[in-house]
């Protein structure tokens, strides 16, 4: 069996190495997971803030004016490139920084990379909370994006490396769980600060300092992962830490596995070029497209712009912010279904079931808005509540499927030699697509009107079909046997493993 090496398997492999779930592992994982909280808080905070009048008046006075103009078209009230840039700039910075972070993780270690994430994040929070003009606000967002880029690369890697193999999958989805907790906290904070005038938005944006401080200070206490130490030639220290985190003396087997994996990794001079081999195409395609699909479910339209969307439907400011708290809670609770279901019912079932659920909800939402929400009217209250219910149905489907599995599947389908580089592609694709949605949604809403929901519905049909026909089931397959047991047996992808035509690198 090939040795395991990266975020998803380094130090884990599929051998049952002797290990206890030690206090060290639990505490270190919780501290690291504050990175997820940081990310989630950011996702959740911008939507609420951009619907607050005080904030709009200060930075986007034209949007404020449009919003309060009775005659303004419902669908176009918030269409403003700069407003979208406020939300999207973070993801642009995150794409660039996750690339840099992948090098820092390797050269400086996971712990140091997490500290850098916290530092960037902290600077971003200060700039945002104290912002006096738009450039200061956007520069702050860019710093937050750098924090997210560094954090999202290092934290999952750290948790997977520190966790004993049999807790690895569950702990991976716990990272997503903390993202949803972060979103929910942000929604609640927005709801509470919206009545504090004129600086409630500063408290909302400043609140992000807390997870950053916890991550920053906490990361002083945590250990570096054994794999990262060994990778950087600190083998003795690596062995000492391994014994400590596993809570047993008998770690020789795992230690040797890490050593072997590190040696193999060092021999691979061009991990990115390796990814261009014909036999890498199935994993690269499926891993990357999972992230594209995750974003084109339209989830972040809800996460970023739910309050704006609800205001568009005629709810008052407070009800709109409260509704975001409701969707945030559903998002968080439904993730539990994934944690407990993914290894029992399987990935494909969850993905296909959720696609049907999300499709119905998008189509009905589109139909209700198309018939009831015109340019300048307010939608009848009953319909507005039905739309809110449908959005909850949509969010719950996402939360137990394309949300966590969008991250889990790319992390488990690559073979050893392309795992890190392949996973990097998936992470960047997530950030790029998030950027596109964040930047384009309000303009698309203005031009496509209720048709936007049919646009996402069409994507959901495509992704549901993909899960049904093209995605192999990976439930219960040891990570290093994925090629043999999933890809080479798949009715379509097996043709890429015809060694006669394997191109050489």
Residue ranges in contact with ligand BGC by CB under 6 A: 43, 176, 179-180, 183, 294, 299-300, 303, 331, 403, 406-407, 430, 434
Whole-angstrom distance, CA of residue 345 vs CA of residue 349: 7
- Report how far residue 216's alpha carbon sits from residue 218's, in angstroms, rounded to the nearest whole number: 6
Tell me the closest approach of the beta carbon of residue 309 to ligand BGC, in angstroms: 15
Instruction: Give min distance, CB of 335 to ligand BGC, in A.
Output: 7
Least separation, in Å, of the C-beta of 14 and ligand BGC?
26
Provide the 3-class DSSP secondary structure of residue 313.
coil
**Between 3 and 207, whose beta carbon lies closer to ligand BGC?**
207
* 184 contacts 266 by C-beta, under 8 angstroms: no
Half-sphere exposure of 76 (CA within 13 A, CB side): 13
Q: How far is the CB of 413 from ligand BGC (least distance, A)?
A: 17
Q: Which two tokens stand for residue 94?
A: 């995150």
The Cα-based distances of 369 to 22, 125, 386 in angstroms read 52, 37, 11
Q: Which of 176, 258, 261 is nearest to 225 (CA)?
A: 258
Residue number, 400 or 487, with CB nearest to ligand BGC: 400
Backbone phi and psi for residue 425, each to the nearest 5 degrees, phi listed first: -60, -40
Closer to ligand BGC by CB, 84 or 483: give it. 84
Choice between 159 and 222, CB closer to ligand BGC: 159
In 3-state terms, what secondary structure has residue 400? coil
Alpha carbon dihedral 47, 51, 52, 58, in 10-degree steps, equals 100
Q: Which is nearer to ligand BGC, 51 or 295 (CB)?
A: 295
- Specify the residue, 182 or 415, whose C-beta has the smaller distance to ligand BGC: 182
Burial of 4 (0-12, 13-18, 19+ CB in 10 A): buried
Closest distance to ligand BGC from the beta carbon of 398 (Å): 7
Pick 98 or 279: Cβ nearer ligand BGC: 98
Percentage helix, strand, coil for the chain under 3-state DSSP, each rounded to 5: 75, 0, 25
Least separation in angstroms between residue 294's CB and ligand BGC is 6
Task: Quote the least distance from Cβ 58 to ligand BGC, whole Å.
Answer: 26
* CA 131 – CA 224 distance, rounded (Å): 35
- HSE (side-chain half, CA atoms, 13 Å) at 492: 12
Q: How far is the CB of 395 from ligand BGC (least distance, A)?
A: 8
**Minimum Å distance from CB 105 to ligand BGC?**
19
In the complex with ligand BGC, the residue whose CB is nearer, 255 or 293, is: 293
- Contact call for residues 405 and 253 (beta carbons, < 8 A): no
Residue closer to ligand BGC (CB basis): 180 or 194: 180
């Amino acid at each position: 069996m090939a040795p395991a090496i990266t975020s998803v398997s380094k130090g884990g492999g599929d051998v049952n190495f002797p290990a206890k779930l030690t206090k060290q592992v639990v505490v270190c994982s919780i501290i690291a997971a504050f990175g997820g909280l940081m990310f989630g808080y950011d996702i959740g905070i911008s939507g609420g803030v951009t619907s607050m009048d005080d904030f709009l008046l200060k930075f986007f006075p034209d949007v404020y004016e449009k919003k309060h103009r009775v005659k303004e078209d419902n669908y176009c009230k918030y269409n403003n490139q700069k407003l979208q840039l406020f939300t999207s700039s973070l993801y642009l910075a995150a794409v660039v920084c996750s690339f840099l972070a992948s090098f820092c993780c390797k050269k400086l270690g996971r712990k140091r990379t997490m500290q850098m994430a916290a530092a960037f994040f902290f600077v971003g929070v200060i700039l945002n909370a104290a912002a006096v003009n738009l450039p200061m606000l956007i520069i702050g967002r860019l710093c937050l994006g750098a924090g997210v880029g560094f954090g999202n690369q290092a934290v999952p890697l750290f948790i997977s490396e520190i966790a004993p193999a049999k807790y690895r999958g569950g702990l991976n989805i716990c990272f997503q769980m903390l993202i949803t907790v972060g979103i929910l906290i942000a929604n609640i904070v927005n709801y509470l600060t919206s009545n504090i005038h004129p600086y409630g938005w500063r408290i909302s944006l400043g609140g992000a300092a807390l997870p950053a401080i916890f991550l920053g200070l906490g990361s002083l206490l945590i250990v570096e992962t054994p794999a990262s130490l060994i990778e950087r030639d600190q083998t003795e220290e690596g062995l000492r830490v391994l014994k400590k985190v596993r809570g047993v003396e008998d770690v020789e087997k795992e230690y040797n596995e890490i050593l072997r994996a590190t040696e193999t990794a060092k021999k691979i001079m061009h991990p990115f070029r390796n990814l261009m081999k014909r036999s890498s195409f199935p994993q690269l395609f499926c891993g990357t497209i999972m992230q594209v699909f995750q974003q084109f479910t339209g989830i972040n339209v809800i996460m970023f712009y739910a309050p704006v969307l609800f205001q568009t439907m005629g709810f008052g400011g407070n009800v709109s912010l409260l509704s975001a708290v409701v969707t945030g809670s559903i998002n968080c609770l439904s993730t539990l279904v994934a944690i407990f279901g993914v290894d029992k019912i399987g990935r494909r079932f969850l993905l296909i079931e959720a696609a049907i659920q999300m499709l119905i909800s998008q189509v009905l939402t589109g139909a209700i808005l198309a018939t009831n929400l015109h340019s300048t009217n307010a939608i009848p209250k009953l319909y507005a509540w039905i739309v809110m219910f449908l959005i909850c149905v949509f969010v719950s489907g996402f939360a137990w499927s394309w949300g966590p599995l969008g991250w889990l599947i790319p992390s488990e389908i690559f073979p050893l030699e392309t795992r890190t580089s392949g996973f990097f592609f998936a992470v960047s694709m997530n950030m790029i697509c998030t950027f596109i949605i964040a930047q384009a949604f309000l303009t698309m809403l203005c031009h496509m009107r209720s048709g936007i929901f049919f646009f996402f519905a069409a994507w959901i049909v495509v992704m549901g079909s993909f899960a049904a026909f093209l995605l192999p089931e990976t439930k219960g397959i040891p990570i290093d046997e994925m090629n043999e047991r999933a890809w080479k047996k798949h009715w379509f992808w097996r043709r890429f493993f015809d060694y006669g035509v394997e191109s050489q690198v």
